[in-house]
Structure 1
Amino acid sequence: MYKLLTIKDVVRIPPRMFTMDPKDAAKKVLRETYEGIYDRDEGVILAILDVHDVGRGIIVPGDGATYHEVIFDVLVWKPENGEVVEGEVVEMMPYGAFIRIGPMDGLVHISQLMDDYVVFDEKNRQFIGKETHRVLKLGDHVRARIIGVSVKSKIIRENKINMTMRQPGLGKFEWIDKEKRKAKEA
């Protein structure tokens, strides 16, 4: 889920930035510090959007920088259990498909790809349903539901998202469209 948050924090502005406008200097420091980090409570910090207020600076003895209380807006994305997401298949492994869903990749385990016995065709790097003959390959666009989020680190790639495509309305868009047509015909 995407959210826009207003945050208050203290920013260290180094002496080399003293000639800049305080808001611009604070925004640059905030971007370098926060963007691309996974916050356990808020999610992936995608962008520092606007700096509303930069308080008076305080100089700490032994440090030439100034410290300012700053109020700023942040765009974040936090994967939530039960959330339905859309993405693209970006990697295939014998145990499942990795789906790019915004700033992170999630794994759909082979057992969660479809309601069918699924085999991995290693030569063509694709999954095939034995009964339905459905094929999932690199570049396919899918809809999935998040069923598990494991947060271990501030580094985005070290966190894991588990997903399923074995529910009505989920899967490769082509499969979903076929199911809708079948339902209308019946």
Structure 2
Amino acid sequence: MDGLIFSSFSPCLQYLGRRRPRFADGGIFSSLFFTTIFIWHCIFQIGDFMYYMVKMENTIRIPPEHIGKNLEEVSEKIVQETFESTMDKNNGLILIAKNVQRSGEGKIIHGDGAIYQDVKFDALTFKPELQEIIDGIICDIVEFGAFCHIGPLDALIYKSQIMD
């Protein structure tokens, strides 16, 4: 269990560096509070609740202008650009794609100079389950409800959904 916690902690910090959250007051306290909560979620909830490390397989297209370059680096960059911040039907929102490995030889299709390469990679995903209780941070209050951060997403809570 300890290995999972520490190996999963680093990708959370990397994702946190890319995220540009909106805060109601824009102050330093809000940023520090959000950072603390997000890191807490990454340490204590990966694999147990809404964050999962998943092994995925897919085919990527490597454009012809990248053929002379290091294919390992190019493959990782293309996988990150293609899959990060996208929704997958089975796994939820893909936050980070790491440990990209090319499998087999790539294929070149007639009429297209690109390489089509099968890849395997590890993905940090966010998938809340139905009826799961999720901690959130209120970031803005408006007349018809409130906006809050829940993990990597922003959500709207209508007034009618809030108990008295």
Residue matched to 1:38: 87
- Could you say which residue in structure 2 is the equivalent of 1:105? 154
Long gaps (5+) in structure 1: 117-186
Higher helix share: 2
Query: Number of matched residues?
Result: 115
Is residue 67 of structure 1 aligned with residue 67 of structure 2? no
How far apart, in 1, do the equivalents of 2:96 and 2:68 lie? 24
CA RMSD, Structure 1 to Structure 2 (Å): 1.5
- 1:23 counterpart residue number: 72
- Which amino acid in structure 2 is aligned with residue 102 of structure 1? G
Structure 1 range deviating more: 97-106 or 80-89: 80-89
Residue 19 of structure 1 and its aligned partner are, at CA, apart by: 2.5
Flag the structure with more relative contact order, 1 or 2, with Cα contacts below 8 A and sequence separation at least 6.
2
Contact kept? 1:23, 1:54, Cα under 8 Å: no
Under a length normalisation based on structure 2, what TM-score does the superposition of the two structures give? 0.64
- Which residue of the other structure, out of 126, 130, 133, is the alignment partner of 1:77? 126
Matches within 5 A, 1:1-186: 1-114=50-163, 116=164
**5+ long unaligned stretches in structure 2:** 1-49
Identity fraction in percent:
38
Residue 102 of structure 1 deviates from its aligned partner by 1.5
- In 2, Cα distance between the equivalents of 1:67 and 1:12? 5
CA-CA distance at 1:91 after TM superposition: 2.2
Q: Which has the higher strand share?
A: 1
